[in-house]
Amino acid sequence: MDTQKEALCRIISTLSNKNEELQTFLDSVDDTLTGLQEESSKVLVELEAELEKLSAVLDEKGAELRGIIKEESKRKEAELQKQRSEGKSALLSCEELLKFANQTLTISEEEEFLKAAKDIKERVTMAPAFRLTARPIVSQNMSQFTTDFSAERADLQKLYFLPVPRAPEIDVSSLVVCDNNITVAWQPADGNGGQVERYEAEYRKTNRNSTLRATGEACWEKIDDIRETSVTISGLKFDSRFISIRVRAKNKTAAGEFSDPVVVETKAYNFGFDAATAHTELKVVNDTVTWEPQGVKGHDPRLRGKENKYRSATPSPKKTTAGRTGRDRFAGESYTVLGDQEMTNDFHYWELRPLADWKSFSVGVAYRASLGRYDQLGKSAGSWCLNASQWLQSSLAVKHNNKAKVLDWPIPQRIGIYCDYENGELFFLDVDRLRLLHTFKTKFSQPLVPAFTVWCGGITITTGLQVPSFMGNFRSTNRSLSDLSQ
């Protein structure tokens, strides 16, 4: 029976995997179908727009040419109408003079005849008919406006869709992953794809070394209008094991197929706050921790000023019983919260920023198992921390095993923490000034977790970060100094 159960479990596992593959396939088909419908509508709209533009240009040019022809015809017609009117007037004058001359021939009286003949002679000399041009001053010829659009018609008949650019080919050897940026380059898409005007890149976070999208994984994020054959995707949070990248080319309006995706490993340290460990007066929201006291009188700095006047520069409120509600929750004066991911090997990096109106905070690492509910960071053999305070006066110090070392440096606004578990190194850095503040050198013997203490104000952390490239200088310098001291 046990054997049959094992066989059935294997069958169920196979069916489950196949079911996931089919679901992924169906999701891909649905996405493609939706994209096809959207693209079809889009290209139809673009085609109509281009045809309207072409028609508008033809209408505009036609109106211009028609106007020129009509203007020339109107000018010639006006000239001919003027010449016609003058000719008619001359003809009428000529007919009257001819009639008068014929009547003169019938005069028998010599003196009267001579007078009439003289008058006729003078009138003929001044007659309009003899001053007119005997032919039309403009011609009927309009051949200068003859058109021949045969070449344009041939071009119009050649109109067709732009060729789709070929898919680019990503140059895997040129991929660079550094400082949470990914630089990717590809071979230009040319050939029968027409002139490429720009490229479009997409990337998607995944936890599988596969180009297939699993159910529930992130969608593609787009970077558009790339004019070069490379792009740098910057400001990423590496909160997944891999990032898949693909590229496609675009000409004037058409976009080609995407290249084969490449999968890039994005190794980084990701963790969050373990809210179950947080002191009851610490509020944990995503990557932020703030101190929110439950009582006013016992925690208002103004009311406690005299009480703490001669105490430590980093005072803590009195112990209360309110923090004893959970077994793993810090209590008393230990306003502490731990990270939720252990470090047992390799190297890790994260950053911290203080929020406004803060008074005191600590950041470091600790052995989870050896840190008691009332233990404060840096006061035990199992915790190492950097403490910053601006209560009464500003101070910066590192603490371990109840020993403190004051650092002569202004309080950073961005603190980097680097932990090399295997080499037993813990670095604290002023990231904005690229200054190494302090290095603990030890041998870690238990799993470590990030640890934080907040009193008044708050902090925010940034995780999912690669070890920055500038850490190489600090590590090599630190190890060189260690070799010299030995």
Residue whose pair of structure tokens reads 């593959």 in the numeric block: 21
- In this predicted structure, the answer to whether residue 481 has a pLDDT above a threshold of 80 is no
Nearest Cα residue to 245 out of 232, 255, 227: 232
pLDDT digits (tens, 9 = 90+) for 399-443: 999 999 999 999 999 999 999 999 999 999 999 999 999 999 999
Residue whose pair of structure tokens reads 């006013």 in the numeric block: 296
Q: End-to-end CA distance of the chain: give it in Å, rounded.
A: 66
Q: What's the burial of 131, exposed, middle or buried (CB within 10 Å: 0-12/13-18/19+)?
A: exposed
The pLDDT value given to residue 389: 95
- Rg of the Cα trace of the chain? 47
CA–CA dist 316, 179 (Å, integer): 37
The pLDDT value given to residue 213: 60
Instruction: State the pTM of this model.
Output: 0.65
Edge-to-edge strands, sheet with 242-250 = 221-226, 198-206, 242-250, 262-265
pLDDT digits (tens, 9 = 90+) for 261-281: 999 999 899 999 999 999 999
- In this predicted structure, the answer to whether residue 465 has a pLDDT above a threshold of 80 is yes
pLDDT digits (tens, 9 = 90+) for 77-105: 999 898 888 888 888 888 888 888 888 88
Question: pLDDT higher for 90 or 302?
Answer: 90
Q: Are the CB atoms for 464 and 237 separated by under 8 Å?
A: yes
